Amino acid sequence: MPLNSTAKNSPSPWVLMEECCREPWKTYQKPIKMAPGVYYISGNNWVACYLIDTGDGLILIDTGMHETVYLLLENIRQLGYDCHDIKKILLSHAHIDHIGGARTLQELTGADMYLGKRDLMYLHERKDLIMIGDYTCGEFEPDFIYSDDKPIVQGNVSIQTVSTPGHTPGCTSFFFDVKDKKTGKILRCGMHGGIGLSCSKKGLEEMGLPFSLQAEFIEGLKKLDTLHVDVCLPSHTNQVGILLLQDQVTEDFNPYDDPSIWHELMQERLERVLLMVENEKAN
């Protein structure tokens, strides 16, 4: 079954934001184990947030929206963890569906917050670019910016960041290994920080962002497609059908352990962006 077939038919982000934020209880999603010690925990069925158990504290990737944070916290509790053990919060990019809960979670946990350098501009000068609609986004400052030559280490997990501009200028992707204690197998987990096609010529012009982001986006997808990733962690569930597979997860079987999912996603996105560029040239 092609897992990457859901994106094209998915409702617009505006519709999905509305559903998740106005009535969060209707879009609740229980935690999903993606890999040993790695869980999908956003508490909604659209935006991905991942919790990583490092053996010495937790890492959270992305926060979801302010309006859905209470369900994210509930999911952490359900897994038997304490949110105060979150030591690091890694933000993929400065769009509201990924950073809307950042202020709340930074205050609650005291965790170190990370963001891509080129997205600082969104926080300081172009707040209009963060927003979709009139949703809450408390102000916050990241404690660190990513450097791709310096992994982020917590406990027994070391996260390699890769700057992947395009969806936003500071968009950052994450790669790390986890070990299956039962089998001893090492699983490479990977998340592209943002693959929404927000880099059309018209879109970039309207946002006042450099046209070069389009080429950077394509370059990033090509580069990431060369990497081996056992477990693809999508930034939204409509990129890869992870919700469709959740019932298959057992103690001994992980349906997400499939390197083809990563390549299919990178390829599908590359095809779509190249088609977009071709159409732009033709018009």
Q: Report the first-to-last Cα separation within the chain, whole angstroms.
A: 35
| CA angle (94 as vertex; 92, 100 as ends), nearest 5 | 100
Task: Give least dist CB 72 to Zn ion, A.
Answer: 17
Question: Does position 66 bind Zn ion by CB under 5 A?
Answer: no
Shortest Å distance, C-beta 97 to Zn ion: 6
61: buried, middle or exposed (CB in 10 Å: 19+, 13-18, 0-12)? Answer: buried
**Residues 38, 32: Cα–Cα separation, whole Å:** 9
The SS3 of residue 138 is coil
Question: Between residues 194 and 220, which has the closer beta carbon with respect to Zn ion?
Answer: 194
Q: How far is the CB of 93 from Zn ion (least distance, A)?
A: 6
**The one segment of 93-101, 152-160, 203-211, 262-270 that binds Zn ion by CB under 5 A:** 93-101
- Alpha-carbon distance of 281 to 211, in angstroms, equals 14
Which one, of 244, 230, 237, lies nearest residue 190 by Cα? 230
Q: Which stretch binds Zn ion (CB under 5 A): 44-52, 90-98, 118-126, 265-273?
A: 90-98
Q: Closer to Zn ion at the Cβ: 119 or 230?
A: 119
Residue 263 near Zn ion by CB under 5 A: no
Q: Binding residue for Zn ion (CB under 5 A) from 95, 103, 192, 236?
A: 95
In the shown chain, the binding pattern of residues 38 to 57 toward Zn ion, with x for contact by CB under 5 A and - for none, equals: --------------------
| Min CB(94)–Zn ion separation in Å | 8
Q: 98 or 178: whose CB is closer to Zn ion? A: 98
Name residues contacting Zn ion, limited to 180-209 (CB under 5 A). 194
DSSP conformational letter for 12? P
Work out whether 118 is an interface residue with Zn ion (CB under 5 A): no
Name the token pair of 140. Answer: 């916050």
Helix and strand numbers (H, E) in the chain are: 9, 12
84 close to 53: Cβ distance less than 8 angstroms = no
User: Interface with Zn ion includes 269 (CB under 5 A)?
Assistant: no
Binding site for Zn ion (CB under 5 A): 95, 194
